[in-house]
Amino acid sequence: MFKIYYTHDGKITMVGASDEPGEHITCDLDTLKKLQDNTHLYEVKNKKLCKKQFESSKPPKKIQLVDDAPGWICHNDNFFEVIEHALQKPIWFDDVTHTWVRYD
């Protein structure tokens, strides 16, 4: 049997064949293989392994290019690579490499 170690809030910290002390549950080889490199998708609740529930992100209905703040600062060649939201034009803003975008 293998062990799944977790924190008090259910976050998985380590999976494997260890004898370290700490909160853990046991699992079989198939579950161990499923968890490898995917522990961020699972959590432990009531001493049972559960898949995490993620809120679905709603895509924007409309992308609008604007000339000035307020808005999201993006790279000119990729409107989905957001740098930051700003209410005023920052000092580092460059009209050649950056653009203003609003998502509705």
- Condensed to tens digits (0 to 9), the pLDDT of residues 88-104 reads 899 999 888 899 988 76
Residue 85 amino acid letter: H
- Condensed to tens digits (0 to 9), the pLDDT of residues 39-57 reads 888 999 999 998 887 665 6
- pLDDT in the model for residue 56: 56
The sheet carrying 2-6 orders its strands as 12-16, 2-6, 24-27
Whole-number Cα distances in Å, 59 to 2, 25, 56, 67: 40, 38, 9, 23
With contact defined as beta carbons under 8 Å apart, do 52 and 25 qualify? no
